[in-house]
Structure 1
Amino acid sequence: MKDALFGGVNAAVLTAMTPNLAPDPDRMAAHAKWLLANGCNGLGILGTTGEANSFGLHERKAILEGLIARGVPAAAMMPGTGCASLSDTVELTLHARAQGCRGVLLLPPFYYKGPSDDGLFAYFSEVVQRVGGGIALYLYHFPQQSAVPFSLSLLGQLLQAYPGTIKGVKDSSGDYANMQAMVREFARDGFEVYSGSDEFLQAILAEGGAGCITAASNANSHWGGIVYAKRTGPEADAAQATLTATRRAATSVPLIPGLREVIARSTGDDGWRTIRPPHLKLTAPQAEAVWAAWQAAGALPLPGLSPARAAE
């Protein structure tokens, strides 16, 4: 897809924290800059991997502002702003727009289960009307986590009602047929489909999708960048195989603490293991297992990342 606002590889960025569980913008900004220098075209901050729903409204604003103040380009970031509360969703989206972000990622209102498509359409209509334009809205399809899916019918309704504002979707369902259907149905109208699963990057690009927004990109973005640049051929195929292997390594243990473990060991920075409950740090056997799996995938050491560089 040409001219996609976030076309390419986007990391669902881990949120760094201090020992008292406060956001750590210095550590997070350094990681964000490394990602942009090592295969990432953009950054999905404050999504599932970033533990957005473990942070309050003021903390989420401060994280975005802190990254921008430390030189992470606002235009490269797609903050997660979808909340169960309509007013919070609107407030965070307006804040992201005011900071210079080009797009935001919206979870559906996830507390009440089983809403109708009509109810979801009414919710997103309110968001669009209250925000008033000036920022692209991307929908977050992750039914395993939110328990509220986006049907093709609902997407069609929203696109017809708000063309150019409802700009795309991140599909973290792991259902490639669903991603494929979204591309085939809506990409001709400029709708950007992003895979939330690394193993589908090469395939979704070939289909006409825009790229990926993935957790494992925190540590495999180098290979994602190769796939996005090359698309086909031996180098792209080998890089895609590494993406698939690293995704499987990342999901061999609880995903978020597992990625924190990989970054902590790669940088020598134990602070990356800090995580907010209800998530927990990995057990020692789990930590050894994910490190071994990442090594077996052929993805260590991480290109361009070293303890010395991480401290700069």
Structure 2
Amino acid sequence: MTFDATQPFGISAALTTPFTSAGNIDHALLVAHVKNVLAKGCNSVTLGGTTGEGPSLSQEEKVAAHNAITAAGVPAQKIVFAILESALPNAVAHARQAADLGSTHILLAPPFYFKGVADNGQLVWFRKMLTEIAPSGLKVILYHIPQVTAAPVTPDMVAELKKDFPAMICGVKDSAGQWENTEELLKRFPDLDILIGDERLLARGVALGGAGAISGVANFRPDLLTDIMAQKPDDPRVTDLVNALLEYPVTPAVKALVGHLDQEQSWREARAPLAGLTPEQYQALTKRYNDLFASPER
């Protein structure tokens, strides 16, 4: 995929990260997983985001994972590189490295360590960041996930950055799960790729011009999301599935279902401070999934 501006962004799997028993990234399993989700309809994968435990990975680990994926024949342009850094020099260096690796798009979160920072302070950080990486030619997807970062990327901030960096700002990933915010983004920025992080809102978003999703569910059921992009009839199981995931720590829950469907239990491992689901949680979640999808449709 070359992210043709004339085509919808589509579905990007917010890649989960598999670990070996020694706690290292399992490159073989990761590569197989990437090939699987792409073969099942994902347009791209996003490396090192929230679902991928990105803040728990070193930049060296992310680069090694990127190299393993491309060495297996996956074009670098299919890999969106997530930048989740508060230190501006680190964010700049990591973005430049992503460009050197061949990625054309980054998912850029705001600096998040200091809480209660005014929008103006965030804008100063973003403007310095974007100015520094402008020569790379990278396209930037702004990342709004305030329930994790406590640092919202508001529609007004998007407008300011889009005005100042029109050739760089290409989209927003809205993972807040608040329809009012998603709707405002869709209406104010029809020329940006508005990407839905909460799969329960994807159908409504697509109906208003949403370009796709960077999705955790795409790790194990991308077909549910590609059907929405194709504007097939709504499947109420999507909402039920996301609600079931939200009963648990989300990233370990997504990994549990990847392992359940792939019959590969090493997926259940998470890196501290996250922990895998308990056996009781795993049994309850997988039973819920099996019951939900016991028949083709409900």
With normalisation by structure 1, the TM-score equals 0.89
Gap regions ≥5 residues in structure 1: 302-312
* Structural mapping, 1:119-158, within 5 Å: 119-133=121-135, 134-158=137-161
Q: What is the identity percentage for the equivalent residue pairs of Structure 1 and Structure 2?
A: 29
Select which of 98, 101, 120 maps to 1:99: 101
Gap regions ≥5 residues in structure 2: none
For 2:294 and 2:140, locate their aligned partners in 1 and report how far apart those are by CA, in whole Å.
33
CA RMSD after TM alignment: 1.8
Whether 2:237 is the aligned partner of 1:242: answer yes
Select which of 164, 177, 189 maps to 1:174: 177
Whether 2:269 is the aligned partner of 1:274: answer yes
**Aligned length, in residue pairs:** 292
What amino acid is aligned across from residue 72 of structure 1 in structure 2?
A: V
**Does structure 1 retain, via aligned residues, the 8 Å contact 2:220–2:261?**
no
- Match of 2:220, SS state, is helix
Offset at residue 277 of structure 1 (A) = 0.8
**Does structure 2 retain, via aligned residues, the 8 Å contact 1:220–1:246?**
no
For 2:238 and 2:272, locate their aligned partners in 1 and report how far apart those are by CA, in whole Å.
29
For 2:247 and 2:180, locate their aligned partners in 1 and report how far apart those are by CA, in whole Å.
24
Offset at residue 245 of structure 1 (A) = 2.3
Q: Could you say which residue in structure 2 is the equivalent of 1:216?
A: 217
Q: Could you say which residue in structure 2 is the equivalent of 1:112?
A: 114
Q: Could you say which residue in structure 2 is the equivalent of 1:304?
A: none
**Does structure 2 retain, via aligned residues, the 8 Å contact 1:39–1:223?**
no
For 1:69 and 1:300, locate their aligned partners in 2 and report how far apart those are by CA, in whole Å.
39
For 1:253 and 1:98, locate their aligned partners in 2 and report how far apart those are by CA, in whole Å.
37
Offset at residue 261 of structure 1 (A) = 1.6
- Match of 2:233, SS state, is helix
Q: Could you say which residue in structure 2 is the equivalent of 1:204?
A: 205
Structure 1, residues 50-88: CA drift from partner, whole Å, max 9, x if none?
Answer: 000001121122121221112222111111113011111
Offset at residue 300 of structure 1 (A) = 8.6
Q: Could you say which residue in structure 2 is the equivalent of 1:67?
A: 69
Whether 2:160 is the aligned partner of 1:165: answer no
What amino acid is aligned across from residue 108 of structure 1 in structure 2?
A: P
What amino acid is aligned across from residue 206 of structure 2 in structure 1?
A: L
**Does structure 2 retain, via aligned residues, the 8 Å contact 1:86–1:127?**
yes
For 2:6 and 2:97, locate their aligned partners in 1 and report how far apart those are by CA, in whole Å.
22
Q: Could you say which residue in structure 2 is the equivalent of 1:22?
A: 24
Distance 1:226 1:105, change over 3 A: same
What amino acid is aligned across from residue 208 of structure 1 in structure 2?
A: G
Distance 1:6 1:123, change over 3 A: farther
- Match of 1:47, SS state, is coil
After the TM superposition, which parts of structure 1 deviate over 6 Å for at least 4 consecutive aligned residues?
Answer: none
Q: Could you say which residue in structure 1 is the equivalent of 2:246?
A: 251
For 1:299 and 1:228, locate their aligned partners in 2 and report how far apart those are by CA, in whole Å.
23
Distance 1:246 1:299, change over 3 A: farther
**Does structure 2 retain, via aligned residues, the 8 Å contact 1:77–1:101?**
yes
For 2:291 and 2:248, locate their aligned partners in 1 and report how far apart those are by CA, in whole Å.
15
For 1:107 and 1:54, locate their aligned partners in 2 and report how far apart those are by CA, in whole Å.
15
Offset at residue 6 of structure 1 (A) = 6.4
Select which of 36, 45, 48 maps to 1:46: 48
**Does structure 1 retain, via aligned residues, the 8 Å contact 2:258–2:267?**
yes
Whether 2:255 is the aligned partner of 1:260: answer yes
